[in-house]
């Protein structure tokens, strides 16, 4: 179908859509949302079973390969690996065949009021790709392989056995002030000395490390790539490096270690846990070696509708400070699982339902309440880790994305936890003090206005009077290349803008997106990644928190696509 005919049909279809769109439908997909949802999946490179549907329009092998690659780069995050629906609607042949190729091309090209991006008119796809995708989604979805204990153990490697590791710290680094910085596109993390601002080591890891987590003791650093590879780094070694690795699936996001020490026993550093996007499962491992011990599937029923979901992805995981439990958040089913790890042979799991699409989050200042974003439900779920129950479900802005969030003392409302949003310019403040400020507890008590949508991370520190927010996915370079800072003691005066990318003084035309504020241990510096493409120069920028002035710029040819970074001490103690 030519562009003019496609445009005419689009007008007719979208006019009908405008009449039938419900109040719950999103009015538009912002560029920030599109950039976020279109994150690539490593599953596009996996061999998959593919059946040919005789009713579907024909495709050549080359077209199928292009479509599968495009789907996992652009569509799987919303519609799911099996195309059975996630944050987006199902795209299975029983639905798509009845629509037909021309109809599907219009939706792919122009989007819809219900949230479908306009892939053609945004410039993200050309007409050929739109046509190929319209035919592809009428075929049966290719099925990735499962990844069970046999497959996991084949990937498990102990590089330095525990008996051969140092018995004491063998370097002069201030380990508590080391930063672990993700080098997204090279499959590495950079370990950087926070005192000297020098790179200690570039460590080989999985692809696009999503998070770094410090063990309860502070000795080990655990990182997990989007390809589900976990690396365990010993910070006591003369040069900190890998001592064990394992792959717990084909795509993943989360890892943590046991922290509890109490009447049930001392579980410090005893266990590690990781959650997978595919297969939908979490894996509990030995904390010294990463040897896999237990695999638990998360397939099951969705909160509310009680409909079966075949691929509920494991999002954030944290370790409880009150019980020997891991707090496992499952995206599509909207469930938080309190996994009692005190006896793996008789595993006990408490299931807490809240709202679908649970994603990331962090503890309140007391570390009792876990505040987790149900992003496409536009809510924050408050999990009481002490009582093992849902404390509240708080309505916030469009697509909350807090990272770990930010805790601080509000001049009026007392202790609050804050989140920014991908889909709008707001920052929501939620009261977290049910004893001292009962009337405000677990309610949205205030809304700040930021520079625009596309925010990923927000951060403060107990020793700071500032609140920082980034917006790296905002389409305006002036916004994405800077951060905003609020004065906690005078929030009503609005924010000041720090031109972080300009301060980096990079000499090429890279994207220079500024991402993830992270404090040093002392709480007097804030570090930012200035993230450009793999073939462009990137940097880290360090800001003096007291003066909001530039303190240092870290440049090195080895700092390729830096994104998230994590201070060892703050990560170990959940300081944010």
d(CA 192, CA 554): 10
Q: Are 176 and 568 in contact, with CB atoms under 8 Å apart?
A: yes
Which helix (H) or strand (E) segment is 477 a member of?
helix 477-480
Q: What is the C-alpha separation between 78 and 286, in angstroms, rounded?
A: 33
Active site (annotated) includes residue 573? no
Q: Which of 75, 125, 133, 338 is catalytic?
A: 75
Cα 160 from Cα 158, distance rounded (Å): 6
Q: How far is CA 79 from the centre of its chain?
A: 17
Q: Can 79 be counted among the known catalytic residues?
A: yes
Which of 210, 321, 401, 461 is labelled catalytic? 401
In the residue annotation, 5 being an active-site residue is answered as: no
Is the dihedral angle over the CA atoms 72, 76, 80, 83 positive or is it negative? negative
In the set 79, 410, 466, 565, the catalytic residue is: 79
Let me know if 75 is a catalytic residue: yes
* Active-site residue identified among 210, 359, 410, 437: 359
Any residues with CB less than 8 A from the CB of 430 and at least 6 apart, and which?
Answer: 371, 380, 382, 394, 396, 416, 417, 418, 419, 442, 443, 444, 445
H or E stretch covering 418 = strand 414-419
Residue 330 CA to residue 358 CA, distance in Å, equals 6
Burial of residue 7 (CB within 10 Å: 0-12, 13-18, 19+) is middle
The secondary structure of 258-323 as a DSSP string is ---EETTEE-TTTEEEEEEEETTEEEEEETTT--EEEEEE--EEPTTT--EES---EEEEEE-SSS
Say what angle helices 127-136 and 61-74 make with each other, to 10 degrees: 90
Taking alpha carbons only, the member of 344, 314, 162 closest to residue 236 is 162
Q: Alpha-carbon torsion 87, 382, 572, 342, what sign?
A: negative
Instruction: Quote the CA–CA distance of 164 and 159 in Å, as a whole number.
Output: 10
Task: Select which of 34, 116, 133, 285 is catalytic.
Answer: 116
- Is 401 one of the catalytic residues? yes
- Count the Cβ atoms, other than its own, within 10 Å of residue 478: 14
Backbone angles phi, psi at 153, to 5 degrees: -65, -25
Residues marked active site are found at: 75, 78-79, 116, 359, 401
């Amino acid at each position: 179908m030519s562009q003019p005919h496609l445009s005419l049909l689009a007008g007719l279809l979208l006019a009908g859509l405008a009449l039938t769109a419900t109040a719950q439908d999103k009015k538009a997909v912002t560029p920030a949302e599109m950039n976020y949802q279109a994150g690539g999946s490593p599953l596009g490179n996996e061999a998959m079973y593919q059946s040919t549907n005789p009713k579907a329009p024909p495709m050549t092998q080359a077209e199928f390969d292009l479509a599968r690659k495009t789907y996992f780069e652009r569509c799987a995050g919303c519609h799911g690996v099996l195309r059975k629906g996630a944050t987006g609607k199902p795209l299975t042949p029983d639905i798509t065949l009845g629509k037909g190729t021309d109809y599907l091309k219009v939706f792919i090209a122009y989007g819809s009021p219900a949230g479908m991006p306009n892939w053609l008119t945004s410039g993200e796809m050309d007409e050929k790709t739109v046509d190929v995708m319209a035919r592809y989604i009428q075929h049966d979805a290719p099925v990735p392989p499962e990844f069970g204990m046999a497959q996991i153990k084949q990937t498990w490697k102990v590089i330095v056995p525990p008996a051969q590791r140092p018995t004491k710290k063998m370097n002069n680094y201030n380990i508590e002030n080391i930063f672990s910085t993700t080098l997204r596109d090279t499959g590495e993390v950079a370990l950087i000395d926070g005192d000297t601002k020098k790179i200690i080591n570039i460590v080989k890891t999985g692809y696009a490390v999503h998070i770094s987590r410090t063990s309860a003791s502070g000795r080990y650093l655990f990182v997990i790539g989007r390809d589900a590879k976990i690396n365990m780094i010993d910070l006591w070694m003369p040069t900190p490096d890998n001592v064990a690795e394992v792959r717990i699936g084909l795509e993943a996001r989360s890892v943590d270690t046991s922290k509890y020490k109490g009447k049930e026993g001392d579980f410090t550093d005893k266990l590690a846990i990781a959650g997978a996007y595919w297969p939908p499962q979490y894996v509990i491992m030995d904390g010294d070696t990463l040897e896999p011990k237990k695999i638990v599937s998360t397939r099951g029923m969705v909160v509310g509708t009680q409909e079966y979901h075949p691929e509920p992805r494991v999002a954030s995981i944290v370790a409880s400070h009150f019980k020997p439990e891991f707090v496992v958040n499952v995206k599509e089913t909207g469930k938080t699982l309190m996994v009692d790890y005190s006896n793996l042979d008789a595993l006990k799991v408490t299931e807490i339902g809240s709202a679908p699409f649970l994603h990331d989050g962090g503890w309140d200042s007391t570390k009792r309440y876990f505040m987790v974003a149900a992003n496409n439900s536009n809510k924050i779920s408050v999990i009481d880790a002490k009582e093992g129950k849902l404390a509240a479900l708080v309505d916030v802005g469009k697509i909350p994305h807090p990272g770990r969030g930010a805790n601080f003392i509000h001049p009026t409302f007392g202790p609050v936890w804050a989140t920014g949003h991908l889909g709008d310019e707001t920052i929501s403040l939620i009261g977290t003090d049910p004893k001292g400020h009962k009337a405000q507890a677990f309610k949205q008590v205030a809304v700040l206005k930021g520079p625009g949508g596309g925010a990923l991370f927000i951060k403060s520190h107990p020793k700071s009077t500032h609140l920082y927010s980034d917006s790296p996915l905002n389409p305006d370079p002036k916004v994405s290349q800077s951060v905003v800072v609020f004065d906690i003691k005078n929030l009503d005066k609005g924010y000041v803008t720090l031109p972080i990318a300009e301060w980096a003084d990079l000499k090429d035309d890279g994207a220079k997106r500024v991402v993830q504020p992270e404090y040093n241990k002392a709480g007097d510096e804030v570090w930012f990644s200035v993230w450009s493409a793999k073939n462009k120069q990137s940097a880290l920028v360090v800001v003096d928190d007291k003066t909001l002035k530039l303190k240092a710029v870290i440049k090195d040819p080895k700092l390729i696509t830096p994104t998230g970074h994590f201070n060892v001490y703050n990560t170990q103690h959940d300081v944010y």
